[in-house]
Amino acid sequence: MSFRVTQAVIVESSVTLHNWRSIHISNSFLNTSFDWRLIPSFLAALEHGSLLGAARALRSSQPTLGRHIAELEGQLGVVLFERTGRGLKPTPMALQLAGSAQAMEDGAHALRRSVSGASEQVRGTVRLSASQPVACYLLPPVLAGLRRAWPEIQIELVVSNEISNLLRREADIALRMLRPEQSSLVTRHLGDVALCACAHRDYLQRHGTPRHLEDLLTHELIGADRHEAVLRGFLDLGQPVTPEHFAFRTDDLIAYWEAVRAGLGVGFVARYLLRLDAQVQEVLAGMPLPTLPIWLTVHREISGSRPIRAVYDFLAGHLPAALAPTEPAPPTH
């Protein structure tokens, strides 16, 4: 089960403690023996719905997470989770405590952000999160320019197709394809990633170039394994297909692009990738494919940090040009 706290609030410690006191379950956790460090484990278990998922998120072990939950239940005198064959099912009491627990964690992170942002020079480490294609193909030239402009700033790049949690400081700055909804995050729309259908010239010489949408169904297609975006795209275009229509399927976006470059078939990629290999040619240039908005995101409370602000402004100034698509190459006959 996935649990999501829809609104993050930063509160003073006295307000947080008042919220906890207002829940009349047990007075034992208000004494000095209560271990506040168990709260992140509790929230991670709520969010991920299993000890394994929570352990991965916190870079801990499953036994450690299980012990933390058991200790917290003992200190509070309540049962927080029902253990099922499919993971952890939060009890009504766990759901009741979630908001106050999240506020407590947010307050701790806010304190750390305030301390880390004080008296900074334009130097230090900035942690950046981006998806595979953006991190591997779009960002490197931009980051090279960043290093020349700000040589005292070091970059940690988190490469993941999952959405990093800026509220928990998994990253300082994130590039996302979905606009965050939290009011505590500052976002800027950098542009839209144009998609295209494409194939290697060698493939097109062997199989011919599709001229109409219907022609794609006679070609070797490259698709996703578990993700259904391409299937939904065909359905929106009036061409329902099944996974069996795709000769090669993978959810790894780097492997997907390399499959296109190797001539395995026709694939659907960000158009900016075409500039990386002149042998990959766009086909059906007029096909109405959706665009993917890309958002630059930072937590409001650290947006004033000088190194983070420098990286944020540099990316905002240089990434839109990098997103610009290439002109379609002349078709292969």
Question: What CATH code is carried by the domain that includes residue 108?
Answer: 1.10.10.10
CA 63-66-70 angle, 5° bins: 140
Q: Residue for token digits 């200190």?
A: 75
> Considering the domain boundaries, does residue 8 fall inside one?
no
Name 73's Cβ contacts closer than 8 Å, sequence gap at least 6.
Answer: 79, 80
CA–CA distance, 280 with 266 (Å, rounded to integer): 10
- For every one of its 333 residues, what pLDDT tens digit does the chain have, with 9 covering 90 and above? 333 332 222 223 333 333 443 333 444 444 446 677 788 888 888 888 888 888 887 878 888 889 999 988 888 889 999 988 778 988 999 888 888 887 777 677 666 655 555 444 578 899 999 988 899 999 999 999 999 989 999 999 988 766 555 556 678 898 988 887 777 778 899 988 888 999 999 999 999 999 988 888 889 999 888 877 777 777 777 777 777 888 899 989 899 999 999 999 999 999 889 988 999 999 988 888 888 899 998 887 676 788 999 999 999 988 888 877 555 444 544
Domain that holds residue 56: 13-116
Q: Which residues lie below 8 Å from residue 310, measured CB to CB, with a gap of 6+?
A: 122, 150, 153
Pairing of strands 87-90, 81-84: antiparallel
CA 173 – CA 228 distance, rounded (Å): 28
Domain termination site, one of 116, 133, 152: 116
Say if 209 falls within a structural domain.
Answer: yes
Question: Would the pTM count as exceeding 0.75?
Answer: no
SS3 of residue 259 by DSSP: helix
Residue 234 resides in a domain: yes
State both tokens at 285.
């240039």
